[in-house]
Amino acid sequence: MRNKIRRKVFTTIFCLVCNVFVFVDKGLVDNINNFDNFKTFKDLCENKDQVSNDIRHTVEELLLVTRTSDCTIAQEKLSKARYLPFNNRGISNLLPLSFFPNFTKLNLTSNQIVDIKPLKKLTKLTELGISDNNISDISPLRNLTNLTTLSASRNQIVDVSPLKNRSCYKVVEQIKSEKNRKLIPIDK
């Protein structure tokens, strides 16, 4: 009798734990996918509890930079801004920056960034600082034709060929000369 009760209790607890993990995992996936539902930074900001923690952290840091907790004011300030000093913020997700295509200068140095794909929408960028992160793929920078200055040292960049045929050879040389892993030559 006692074993039956223990078995039922164990089975019940096990089922509850399994359901919690399934719910949490599904929730995290849904939160990440929800980003596409937001058309403006204001929408994202007002619903930041519906996205992953890394996106939420970036939104919160943008609010700190703009010195406001009002999402409308933050969107207005960031939409007008041309330069964003966003270094040393502990951010890893750049998706919220994709709402602001007018940035011409962006400092993302000393964060925890791996993926820079959201930057490909920032076609007006002329200066970009991404040093001291965990970036290995710089191909999203390929079509940033206005980019003339790039600081990308102390990353895991191996292949600089995405910047081939660019007029900013000093950018490529700077990446080659800094502490990145073994690089693939640009002329391959």
pLDDT at 9 over 60: no
Give the tokens for residue 116.
């820079």
Backbone angles phi, psi at 105, to 5 degrees: -135, 130
Query: What's the pLDDT at 184?
Result: 45
pLDDT at 163 over 80: no
Q: What proportion of the chain, given as a percentage, has pLDDT over 90?
A: 57
Residue that is written with structure tokens 């933050």 in the block: 74
- Output the DSSP codes for 16-59: HHHHHHHHHHHHHHHHHHGGGG--SHHHHHHTGGGS-HHHHHHH
**Burial label, 65 (beta-carbon count in 10 A; 0-12, 13-18, 19+):** middle
Taken in order of first residue, the domains within the chain and their CATH numbers are 82-177 (3.80.10.10)
Give the tokens for residue 95.
């998706």
Burial 73-99 (b: 16+ CB within 10 A, else e): ebbeebeebeebebbebebbbbbbbeb
pLDDT digits (tens, 9 = 90+) for 63-81: 999 999 999 999 999 999 9
Yes or no: say if 82 and 102 are a contact pair by the CB < 8 Å rule: yes
Query: What's the pLDDT at 160?
Result: 81
- Identify the sign of the CA torsion 34, 36, 38, 42: positive
Q: Which residues pair with 106 in a beta bridge?
A: 84, 128
Catalogue the E-assigned strands of the chain. Answer: 83-85, 105-107, 127-129, 149-151
DSSP letter assigned to residue 142: T
Question: What confidence tier does 113 reach under pLDDT thresholds 50, 70, 90?
Answer: very high
Distance between CA atoms of 188 and 182, rounded to whole angstroms?
14
- Identify the sign of the CA torsion 163, 169, 171, 172: positive
